[in-house]
A and B are shown apart, each in its own frame.
Chain A
């Protein structure tokens, strides 16, 4: 009996897999051009990374004085994006707000893509990628619980697993015309809320715990990370959802979009407030720790590579906040999308390079080495982003038709069109 069930499940799952492959392989011209574009970036990234593996991390601009750079900056930003799925989950499930429930799954797809990119950025940043297994018990040795990086490895993988299981389950069930099992999905989705907060808090603690780096050794780093995460992640999602609404039969109420934008405004306010608090403390106390903040906003002596980026980030964040806080501008779809791009760009700058580089410049013994990425780093990063976008695209390509009920598997693998979406649950 159990054996029969197992065989049946395998058959069902392989049907789901084959159905997914079918969905991925059909698309219009725009779809294939998009994939080709991503493919080019990925190929370029692989070539650049091969050179980096061969010659060493010396191909980046990182040196002893600034030993972390573009890769880790992107990693930090993307952990925030992954955590942002929770912005959707909280109103959907905790406040039981139906218009958003349909789109929770897309937040989770975004989380999966973002975590994949995070793991890839870590992989390209370490000096010995062949020794990655040293992190994985029982083959390797994970310095848990002393090392915050060990915590990060665990929670990131766990969060990935939770999201992956939920999404696969929902789509698998929908593919076979069934609803997802609430007792399984809802607890996991609710679990993903503290987990999302957890992954970004742990990532913040990575920096926060280092007494050697006064710029990072600040108590507000964890709240600041969460605030900036909760505006940047949904920014991508809002754009994607509007695209889906335009190009597929996917439906989402305007109210849902506006609600998310409103939540982003509050998150951005918190982000700006915390930055302001940080600036006050540094400039008013005026200790030597001010050097790092000063380098970021004003430069030090003749060193001012990052100053334009600092003020661009400030401007972008302020613009985004203004556009999202007022319902009038929020409901104008042009301004809404401008706001989304501004949020994404602003947080990307201030949380990527704006966090890592000023934390390491000047270095612990006062030396200033101005870091900005090399072409190798840019190519590898672009390749990784392309992988993430590719993953997201392919997952959407499977998820949207299935969740719309447009694509289902039967015993003979016929395609069936069903009118009502099965994803809304009850």
Chain B
């Protein structure tokens, strides 16, 4: 009789304790700096073993007073996909299975921006193809991301500079975030990712482009390893027609602010209220 009561009390206590600690702070990225540095040193050592290359993993924090935003000129994009492959090279994406963080959709001018009629597999001899225009889509770095809301382990969150990041060592690969993302921006490592050794980019960020393991989710991070050093993301730099713009939303001088204030700007799936920080505009 007593043991039964004890057992029930213990069970009730454990259940209550579980629920209380469950609502605790997100301690992952509030880990003390020295612990993080130790973890990173271990990571770099493992990468050296696996890839035979000295890969630097930065843990650079957000720059204060910065909130990143991106703008893409639909009147200029010709669908050449150089951004796709620049991103693949810069961000150590798996070649086989193939992962692309940017997906370019060919649309018909007659139908306008309509994803039910978009085609990401176009391969004409030359672009732009007659009667078509192109919309690249990647992570929109939303202000109210549906993906971070649903993660059961808190492995993905929004950083102070607006970049939505993933801790690849905490993600359990449940893929709930992939179901939640309205833009198809998240990608999963269905098998062990492969990167040719000579193509590995050794300048990585802990939350960005460091080589990922199998079984976790990944996505565009606005080239966090570059952006936090003041540089443009790889896709912005490589675009041959200058369709991509990037900058600090809080800086009144930035190109981004100029675009929002002077150009016709739109966002995708606005009615879903995700408040994307990725704007599409017509510069002409």
Once the chains bind, are A149 and B174 in contact (CB under 8 Å)? yes
CB B35 to nearest CB in A, in angstroms, measures 15
Once the chains bind, are A126 and B188 in contact (CB under 8 Å)? no
A78-86, A138-146, A398-406: which lies at the B interface? A138-146
Verify if B202 is at the interface (C-beta below 8 Å from A): no
Verify if A415 is at the interface (C-beta below 8 Å from B): no
Verify if A137 is at the interface (C-beta below 8 Å from B): yes
Say whether, besides A9-B4, A56-B192, A365-B184, A144 and B118 are in contact (CB < 8 Å).
Answer: no
Verify if B241 is at the interface (C-beta below 8 Å from A): no
Contacts of B272 in A (CB 8 A): 211-212
**Which of B4, B146, B175 is close to A212, meaning CB atoms less than 8 Å apart?**
B146
**Which of B8, B115, B152, B182 is close to A135, meaning CB atoms less than 8 Å apart?**
B152
Verify if A220 is at the interface (C-beta below 8 Å from B): no
Which residue of chain B is the closest to A213 with respect to CB atoms? B179
Once the chains bind, are B3 and A142 in contact (CB under 8 Å)? no
Verify if A68 is at the interface (C-beta below 8 Å from B): yes
**Which of A62, A149, A150, A362 is close to B190, meaning CB atoms less than 8 Å apart?**
A62
**In the complex the two chains form, what is the Cα distance from A145 to B155 in whole Å?**
15
Q: Is the interface of B mostly helix, strand, loop or mixed?
A: loop
> CB within 8 Å of A: which of B113-132?
114-118, 120
Q: Mark B161-194, 1 if CB is under 8 A from A, else 0.
A: 0000000001111111011111110111111100
B11-19, B54-62, B224-232, B251-259: which lies at the A interface? B11-19
| Interface residue tally for chain B (C-beta within 8 Å) | 64
**In the complex the two chains form, what is the Cα distance from A161 to B150 in whole Å?**
25
Once the chains bind, are B2 and A137 in contact (CB under 8 Å)? no
Contacts of A5 in B (CB 8 A): 1-3
CB B167 to nearest CB in A, in angstroms, measures 10
**In the complex the two chains form, what is the Cα distance from A132 to B215 in whole Å?**
12
Which residue of chain B is the closest to A142 with respect to CB atoms? B22
Once the chains bind, are A138 and B21 in contact (CB under 8 Å)? yes
Verify if A58 is at the interface (C-beta below 8 Å from B): yes
**In the complex the two chains form, what is the Cα distance from A365 to B28 in whole Å?**
32
Once the chains bind, are A56 and B191 in contact (CB under 8 Å)? yes
Say whether, besides A128-B172, A213-B179, A288-B116, A150 and B152 are in contact (CB < 8 Å).
Answer: yes
Once the chains bind, are B116 and A141 in contact (CB under 8 Å)? no
Once the chains bind, are A148 and B97 in contact (CB under 8 Å)? no
Verify if A147 is at the interface (C-beta below 8 Å from B): yes
Verify if A17 is at the interface (C-beta below 8 Å from B): no
**In the complex the two chains form, what is the Cα distance from A1 to B19 in whole Å?**
34
Once the chains bind, are A147 and B150 in contact (CB under 8 Å)? yes
Once the chains bind, are A127 and B173 in contact (CB under 8 Å)? yes
**In the complex the two chains form, what is the Cα distance from A363 to B192 in whole Å?**
24
Verify if A272 is at the interface (C-beta below 8 Å from B): no
Verify if A153 is at the interface (C-beta below 8 Å from B): yes
Verify if A248 is at the interface (C-beta below 8 Å from B): no
Once the chains bind, are A153 and B152 in contact (CB under 8 Å)? yes
Verify if A67 is at the interface (C-beta below 8 Å from B): yes
Q: List 11 A-B pairs, Cβ < 8 Å.
A: A56-B215, A67-B178, A127-B189, A141-B26, A141-B170, A143-B151, A144-B22, A147-B150, A149-B151, A362-B116, A366-B115
Known: A56-B192, A141-B153, A206-B176. 8 other contacts (CB 8 A): A126-B172, A127-B188, A143-B151, A184-B8, A364-B182, A365-B118, A366-B114, A366-B117
Closest 10 CB pairs of A and B: A127-B173, A127-B215, A212-B182, A58-B190, A56-B191, A58-B191, A149-B152, A366-B115, A142-B22, A144-B22
Q: Hey, which bits of chain A sit against chain B, CB under 8 A?
A: 2, 5-6, 9-10, 55-58, 62-65, 67-68, 122, 125-128, 131-132, 134-138, 140-150, 153-154, 158, 161, 165, 169, 184, 206, 209-213, 288, 291, 360, 362-367
